[in-house]
Amino acid sequence: MIIIKHTNELKPKELIEIFKQRVAVFVVEQNCPYQEVDTNDFGDLHVCLIENNTLKAYTRIIDKGNYITFGRVLVVKSYRKNGLGRQIVQATIDEIKKRFPTQPIQIQAQAYLQKFYESFGFKAISTIYLEDNIPHLDMLLETN
């Protein structure tokens, strides 16, 4: 089941579980010490794939004004290789198109996922650069 909530709609336990999984993936697994919880978390939308009361996949949506972005895309390690990444990204794109129908979607994708995001219609709009010492590139999906 996909659940989408603003930060202020999340119960404390839900928010802690989200932060726990984000730190597990983006700080611990990727061995990347950085400020994982940031000011965007105050006003963003959290997209959660939950089954049997367990968070299995997640993204967050941020309104940047002239475009919408999403990030912190994760599938909990024990649930990978089951298509949940595709499912959570498609649900995120669908929600953005519903809430922000005229806004383009621009993301900072990890470079190794370029073909994955291209399969949703994203196009690279930058060369590869390092973000927190991990190769990334900017990608754009026109929604209108």
CATH assignment at residue 86:
3.40.630.30
Paired strand residues for 129: 136
**Distances 47 to 51, 73, 122, 139 between C-alpha atoms, Å:** 13, 9, 19, 20
Q: What is the pLDDT of residue 60?
A: 96
**Residue 85 covered by a domain:** yes
Q: How many domains does the chain have?
A: 1
pLDDT-flagged residues of the chain (< 70) = 144
Residues in CB range of 55: below 8 A, 6 or more apart? 17, 18, 21, 48, 49, 76
Instruction: Identify the pLDDT of residue 144.
Output: 67
The pLDDT of residue 56 is 97
Would you say residue 134 lies in a domain?
no
Q: Is residue 53 a part of any domain in this protein?
A: yes
pTM (2 decimals)? 0.92
d(CA 1, CA 113): 24
Residue 139's pLDDT is 97
